[in-house]
Structure 1
Amino acid sequence: MVEIPDSLRSLFSAPIEERNGTYVIEVPSSEVDHEALSADKTYRVAILESPGSTESSIQQKPQRSPPQETTSRVPSGPPVKKGEVRNVTIETVGDQGDGIAKVERGYVVIVPDAQPGDEPTVKIEQVQKNVAFASIVDSDPRTF
């Protein structure tokens, strides 16, 4: 089970690569572009094993996103708003048994009574800087 602290700045997947006798995790440029991280600061990093990770998938190079236009405006703040209704996919379950979904920029949405693989429609009830809490307004139709 994964506990999501309020101080969580970013959540993304990346392979670990060996380079000149050290190991490197590449941080997606979007994390800096969206101001989740700054290149000139030091951060604590947690490593979680990815479900279904294999040696062959670890050795693959990460896919890079196409470059964004330099004139595009970098969004600030959480990508969700209180009262917003949206569809999410539950990826994992947290320590308290709540479902965890990720939306734009890796932003975490906690959904009680949801399980990995569920795709409920949720209403955002509370928004914090790094995480939002939502309630299910329409259950995953595949569960019926």
Structure 2
Amino acid sequence: MEFLDSLLCMFTSRVTGRNGSYTLEIPEQEIEVGSLEEGKRYRVALFDASEVGAVEVGGNSSGVTGHVSGTQQQPNNSEVLDQPPVNEGEIREVEIEDIGEKGDGIARIPPGYVVFVENTSPGDRVRIEITEARDNFAFADVVGQI
């Protein structure tokens, strides 16, 4: 499967039922960082995150890759959407795209995973180290300029 260039964000969520209707919860940070706007209409695609290999991040399915310590890395085919596309201690090269509510720079790692980076501004190209990786976003420190 190829991800579209227009992909705004990616997260894992559960479908829940209430009073004969079903909802999908969108994490608050997807609204806060500017990827999505409350009240705006979006086209949604859902994938079963429990099926290993159903929607792979990396490999031949999406072509998503990243830089780790200067070398090209492709995740294992068993990595699916319910796992962050980064690990704590991993080094990445990113461009800061925006500023979050608390003043941290915001970078996105394909396909839309948000990383908050302190002491950066939009347009900065920096080498970062992931300090904390959560399901839908991460925190990182700058370790160098690009």
The TM-score, its normalising length taken from structure 1, stands at 0.51
Question: What residue number does 1:95 align with?
Answer: 101
State the distance in 1 between where 2:29 and 2:78 align: 20
Q: Deviations over 1:66-113 (max 9, x none)?
A: xx59xx756131000000001011110011111001112311100001
Give the one of 111, 134, 138 matched to 1:128. 134
Change over 3 Å in CA distance of 1:110–1:33 after alignment to 2: same
Which ranges in structure 2 are unaligned for 5 or more consecutive residues?
1-25, 50-60, 63-76
Q: Is the 8 A contact 1:124 1:135 kept in 2?
A: yes
State the distance in 2 between where 1:82 and 1:118 align: 22
Question: What are the within-5 Å matches in structure 2 for residues 1-144 of structure 1?
Answer: 7-8=27-28, 24-27=41-44, 29=45, 32-33=46-47, 35=49, 68=61, 75=80, 76-140=82-146
State the distance in 1 between where 2:116 and 2:135 align: 13
State the distance in 2 between where 1:13 and 1:115 align: 17
Same amino acid, percent of matched pairs = 34
State the distance in 1 between where 2:35 and 2:131 align: 27
Which ranges in structure 1 are unaligned for 5 or more consecutive residues?
1-5, 15-22, 36-67
Match of 1:121, SS state, is: strand
Over the aligned positions, Cα root-mean-square deviation in angstroms equals 3.2
Identify, as 1 or 2, the structure richer in strand.
2
Matched residue type, 2:43: E
